[in-house]
């Protein structure tokens, strides 16, 4: 199964381009002052349905702690997340999404709806949906490989 990695590089290249283009599109639809990084954190918090620490989040996203600190402070400033004491570690805190954060997340997805519809009209979505399991496998593998 371990084959020449070149096709893998090419695939990751495609992924990077797709991510860049779709991210720019999405970000243009977010309210002023918000970035994909903000949405990404909210999305993750909803997905895991938990209140992870900044450290855990930084790891999950593979960004430096200071980057995550800054991103979270922006979200907190807008009331989209709140910080709670971490009962297991006095140095730490837990990040919880607020009701406003949930609404923000829903609104952001709604705002990109028309663009996605336009995109779906241009492609074979059924064909593309077939790629989802493989992409999930790839993500899981990358998750397993990341710095702890």
| Residue ranges binding a second copy (CB under 8 A) | 1-3, 5, 7-26, 36, 40, 43, 61-63, 109, 112-113, 115-132, 134-139, 141-146
Q: Which CB sits closer to DNA, 64 or 130? A: 64
Minimum CB distance to DNA, residue 127 (Å): 30
Q: How far is CA 112 from the centre of its chain?
A: 15
86 vs 67: CA distance, rounded Å: 20
| Residue 124 contact among a second copy, DNA, none, beta carbon within 5 to 8 Å by kind | a second copy
Q: Which of 95, 89, 52 is nearest to 72 (CA)?
A: 95
Query: Is 96 in contact with 106 (CB distance < 8 Å)?
Result: no
| Residue 18 contact among DNA, a second copy, none, beta carbon within 5 to 8 Å by kind | a second copy
55 vs 58: CA distance, rounded Å: 5
User: Using CB under 7 A as the criterion, which residues of the chain lie in contact with DNA when the complex forms?
Assistant: 33, 35, 37, 53-55, 58, 63-67, 69-74, 86, 89-93
């Amino acid at each position: 199964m371990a084959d020449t990695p070149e096709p893998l590089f090419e695939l990751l290249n495609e992924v990077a381009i797709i991510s860049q283009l779709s991210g720019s599109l999405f970000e243009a639809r977010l309210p002023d002052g918000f970035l994909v990084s903000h949405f990404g954190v909210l999305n993750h918090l909803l997905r895991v349905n938990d209140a992870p620490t900044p450290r855990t989040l930084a790891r999950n996203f593979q960004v430096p702690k200071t980057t995550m600190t800054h991103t979270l402070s922006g979200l907190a400033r807008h009331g989209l997340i709140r910080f709670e004491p971490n009962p297991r570690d006095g140095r730490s805190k837990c990040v919880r999404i607020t009701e406003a954060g949930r609404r923000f997340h829903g609104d952001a997805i709604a705002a990109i709806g028309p663009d996605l519809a336009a995109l779906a009209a241009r492609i074979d979505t059924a064909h593309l949906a077939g790629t989802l399991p493989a992409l999930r496998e790839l993500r899981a593998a990358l998750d397993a490989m990341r710095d702890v």
